A and B are shown apart, each in its own frame.
Chain A
């Protein structure tokens, strides 16, 4: 069975540009979460979506937005890129939503470099 898939795997942008990252969850999983992992740090929570509704939002500026589609795939959008947005962006899926106890399954990530 396919795991969580993310695209693109690597991308380079310049300051001020916009980026869209995509994620397909494991088949049957209805929850998708996004995390930012800056080099040398642990992942930081950005968003969680369950059944196409936003269920949680981390401490990130409004330049970050996301959505979940009817097939449960998700997009993370970042506008007006800053150098500090350079990071590994991880998507994770889970079977349940907010009150579930299942673990998160992570994709390989999208490595964003902002120049």
Chain B
């Protein structure tokens, strides 16, 4: 079984401040981890992924995420948030041992960046 928890429904930050969106996961084996962003009435856009290797992953639009195996976490971060980062963010996990392409998503975190 695989699952993701995003403990915060909403995150509010001021423009220029650091942004962190939290994610913890559960898988039977080792994880593939992903972050997606969704703007209103749109599909999901890929931000970054962790497959293996360096625990710090850099992605699109200045976002990065840190994989922590001992804490089973994959938090999304951005050093300086922009108003345009306001959107719905989803963390997703896939078990490396699975032979299908099922991603399990969290419930999402709404990020609001105020000017």
Which positions in A face B, CB cutoff 8 Å?
4, 31, 33, 35, 40-45, 48, 50, 55-56, 58, 90, 92, 94, 97-101, 103-109, 111
Contacts and interface: CB of A to CB of B under 8 A. Distances in A.
Contacts of A40: 107
Given A90-B43, A101-B51, A103-B46, A45 B103 contact: yes
B90 A41 contact: no
B42 A108 contact: yes
Interface string B59-86: 0000000000000000000000000000
Contacts, number: 70
Contacts of A35: 105
A42 B101 contact: no
Given A103-B49, A108-B43, A98 B32 contact: no
A109 B43 contact: yes
B44 A58 contact: no
A9 to B, nearest CB: 9
A43 B101 contact: no
B107 A42 contact: yes
Given A41-B108, A42-B107, A101-B51, A55 B100 contact: yes
B102 A45 contact: yes
B34 A103 contact: yes
Given A42-B106, A45-B104, A98 B98 contact: yes
A43 B93 CA distance: 12
A31 to B, nearest CB: 6
**5 tightest Cβ-Cβ pairs between the two chains A and B:** A56-B100, A42-B105, A106-B43, A106-B44, A98-B99
Contacts of A56: 98, 100-102
